[in-house]
């Protein structure tokens, strides 16, 4: 067997090696299992490592031997704990669903299974995807592999940490307001939030139904693109999914995409350096106005709270998960939800119920919906002049565990650059953009590229160019 260098391994490299017989899917899976056994106790990226990983890998080897393998056959994945795999526990990192076993596969999981991908285990997350640090998990915080005193990001922190610690080659997360892109930035990975409707949400536990989207993590743009191509597409089980030709292909730049930089934030020295790199690669860069971008956080959180309140009403302890007995049905309901839901989930349910209540619906929820449309028009107007909108992914590098937990507003403001894409439905990708040294630790930072609806192709093109990935 050829020695496997997990640190530099990509999906394409692994595929070629398995095809040539340099190592098998079983041997590759075992390498990752060995890393998980050494590192996961400290990092807490996985809530569960599956007991049939090597059996899955054996089937992948059979597919490769029979000539039925694809580029994802035998590739080991970490799967966020809110994405259903039939016969597997899925808790959304909440006590209210502890012990719940999925009865069907999410569409994205079904597609990966068909490709022969290997599922290593379920990754930790913020409870019901509510948070930006994975500190809201009922099963403990996920630590950043670059500095274990810091967060891995959220809500898909476990998925990102699994890849960053070489405990998976790729991962799936879900992104409602930055939950793939923020942990990708904090952990030095590539993370994609696809166009709303391009990937089926069937089999994903809903947080905000008009905001959620499954997205992949990879070490390279190419890895992320490969996964996206495998999981995207229209799905009769999800009425929000879109056809390939829903959006027309457009390009303002003739040779390379034109990049627009919004004026609502102050550029850091590192960000300016990244802009200069794009210019040196032949990209035209200009300033753009996004007048409503500063209002994105309040718009987003009102909609998020409202949709969360509605979606989480189904978790009542009657049909599945935790059940606490009271003197009657109503008390059962209160006791179960009071014990089963964590602090952040209860906060969002209460605030969501408030903004949807009689007398406040128009003042908050309806106004937020109206402003969301204005924000989207801002972006569409900008895309008449540019092909990519470039911002930082996060205001800074990963913060220390416990640093923001007492101040929810400070935590919400971490999403200032990422929520806009969920509100507009546009695709966005975070790519590694440098290192900032803090307290003697080298911490990754990311930049975010946003494109028109349906134009993931331009994101992949510019991202590969920036990172020097050779086609």
Residues designated as active site = 80, 155, 179
- The span from the CA of 13 to the CA of 32, in Å, is 16
Structure tokens at 353: 């119920």
Within 13 A of 53's CA, how many CA atoms are on the CB side? 25
Structure tokens at 279: 């210019």
- The span from the CA of 284 to the CA of 278, in Å, is 8
Cβ(339)–Cβ(317) below 8 Å: no
- The span from the CA of 259 to the CA of 253, in Å, is 9
Cβ(401)–Cβ(135) below 8 Å: yes
Q: Is 250 exposed, middle or buried (0-12, 13-18, 19+ CB in 10 A)?
A: middle
Place of tokens 């007991």: 51
Helix 296-311 × helix 367-382 angle, to 10°: 130
Place of tokens 């997205």: 215
Question: ∠ CA 346-214-91 to the nearest 5 degrees?
Answer: 45
End-to-end Cα spacing for the chain: 27
**Residue 60 parent element (H or E):** helix 53-65
Longest dimension (CA), the chain: 71
- The span from the CA of 256 to the CA of 248, in Å, is 18
DSSP 135-191: TT-TT-PPEETTEEEEE--SSSHHHHHHHHTTS-SEEEEE-SSSTTHHHHHHHT-EE
Q: How many residues does the chain have?
A: 471
- The span from the CA of 242 to the CA of 238, in Å, is 9
Nearest to 228 by CA among 191, 260, 264, 279: 191
């Amino acid at each position: 067997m050829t020695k496997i260098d997990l640190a530099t391994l990509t999906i394409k490299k692994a595929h070629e090696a398995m095809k040539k017989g340099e190592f098998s899917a079983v041997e590759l899976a075992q390498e990752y299992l060995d890393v998980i056994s050494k590192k996961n106790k400290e990092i807490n990226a996985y809530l569960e490592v599956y007991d049939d990983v090597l059996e899955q890998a054996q089937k992948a080897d059979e597919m490769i031997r029979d000539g039925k393998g694809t580029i994802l056959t035998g590739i080991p994945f970490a799967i966020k704990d809110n994405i259903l795999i039939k016969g597997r526990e899925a808790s959304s990192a909440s006590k209210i669903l502890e012990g719940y076993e999925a009865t069907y596969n999410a569409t994205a999981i079904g597609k990966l299974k068909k490709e022969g991908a290997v599922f290593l285990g379920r990754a930790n997350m913020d409870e019901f995807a509510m948070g930006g640090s994975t500190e809201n998990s009922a099963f403990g915080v996920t630590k950043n592999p670059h500095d274990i005193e810091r967060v891995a990001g959220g809500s898909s922190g476990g998925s990102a940490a699994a890849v960053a610690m070489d405990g998976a080659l790729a991962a799936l997360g879900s992104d409602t307001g930055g939950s793939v892109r923020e942990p990708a930035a904090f952990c030095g990975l590539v993370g994609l939030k696809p166009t709303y409707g391009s990937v089926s949400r069937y089999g994903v536990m809903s947080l905000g139904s008009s905001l959620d989207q499954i997205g992949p993590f990879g070490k390279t743009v190419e890895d992320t693109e490969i996964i996206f191509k495998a999981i995207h597409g229209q799905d009769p089980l999800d009425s929000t999914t879109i056809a390939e030709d829903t959006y027309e292909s457009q390009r303002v730049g003739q040779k390379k995409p034109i990049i627009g930089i919004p004026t609502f934030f102050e550029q850091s020295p590192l960000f300016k350096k990244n802009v200069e790199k794009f210019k040196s690669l032949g990209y035209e860069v200009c300033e753009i106005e996004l007048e409503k971008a500063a209002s994105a956080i309040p718009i987003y959180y009102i909609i998020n709270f409202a949709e969360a309140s509605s979606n989480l009403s189904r978790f009542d302890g009657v049909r599945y998960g935790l059940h606490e007995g009271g003197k009657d049905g109503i008390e059962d309901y209160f006791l179960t939800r009071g014990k089963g839901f964590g602090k952040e989930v209860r906060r969002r349910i209460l605030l969501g119920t408030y903004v949807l209540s009689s007398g406040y619906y128009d003042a908050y929820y309806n106004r937020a919906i109206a402003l969301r449309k204005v924000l989207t028009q801002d972006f569409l107007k900008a895309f008449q002049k540019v092909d990519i909108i470039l911002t930082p992914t996060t205001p800074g590098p990963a913060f220390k565990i416990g640093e923001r937990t007492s101040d929810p507003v400070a935590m919400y403001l971490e999403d200032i650059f990422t929520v806009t894409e969920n509100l507009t439905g546009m695709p966005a990708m975070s790519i590694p953009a440098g290192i900032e040294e803090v307290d003697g630790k080298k911490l990754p930072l990311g930049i975010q590229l946003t494109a028109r609806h349906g134009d993931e192709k331009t994101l992949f093109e510019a991202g590969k160019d920036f990172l020097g990935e050779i086609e």
